[in-house]
């Protein structure tokens, strides 16, 4: 299994997703610049699942190991209780494009501000298969532990606002 790979072409306002099952390119409607990272807003495209999503916003943060996503969904969507989806991964940048390789670990923040750690088993499996370098594996574990500890001490939104900015989190949530 190959992990998901996102490439954000900022000048062309395009996002490309390469996964084990597909390659998809979609237009970006809006790009916001924050302190050394970007907000991306785009319409959802119909795939084989999650078709109750209308549009998404992402915070693409090359200095961190995370990408934050929020969704505008239909009322009866199975994802209607999701507030923020945090993907853990690895970034690289060149020629005004940003690549994010999803390293499988996710934290799902629900609308009630509780959170769920998801796909830890996939992170470990990909590490054992040698698809994730040891340094990346331990960096993801360390950063996810840092966030989880702060979520429990300060609350989810306060932690995100302290580690990013009030402005970017408010933008993300205003969907």
Indicate if the pLDDT at residue 47 is higher than 70. Answer: no
Distance CA 132, CA 159 (A): 27
Percent of the chain with pLDDT strictly greater than 90: 77
User: For the domain bounded by 5-173, which CATH number is listed?
Assistant: 2.40.380.10
3-state class (DSSP) for residue 137: helix
pTM: 0.92
pLDDT one-digit tens code per residue, 99-139: 999 999 999 999 999 999 999 999 999 999 999 999 999 99
Tens of pLDDT, residue by residue over 91-108, are 999 888 999 999 999 999
């Amino acid at each position: 299994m190959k992990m998901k790979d996102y490439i954000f072409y900022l000048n062309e306002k395009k996002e490309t997703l390469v996964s084990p099952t597909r390659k998809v390119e979609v237009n970006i409607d809006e790009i916001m610049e924050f302190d050394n990272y970007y907000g991306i807003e785009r319409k959802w495209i119909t795939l084989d699942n999650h078709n109750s999503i209308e549009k998404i916003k992402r915070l693409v943060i090359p200095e961190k190991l995370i990408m934050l996503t929020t969704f505008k969904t239909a009322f009866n969507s199975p994802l209607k209780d999701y507030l923020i989806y945090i993907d853990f991964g690895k970034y690289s940048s060149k020629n005004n494009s940003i690549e994010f390789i999803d390293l499988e670990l996710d934290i799902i923040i629900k609308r009630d501000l509780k959170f769920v750690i998801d796909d830890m088993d996939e992170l470990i499996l990909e590490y054992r298969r040698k698809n994730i370098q040891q340094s990346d594996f331990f960096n993801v574990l360390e950063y996810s532990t840092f966030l989880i500890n702060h979520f429990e001490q300060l609350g989810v939104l306060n932690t995100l606002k302290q580690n990013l900015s009030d402005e970017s989190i408010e933008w993300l949530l205003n969907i």
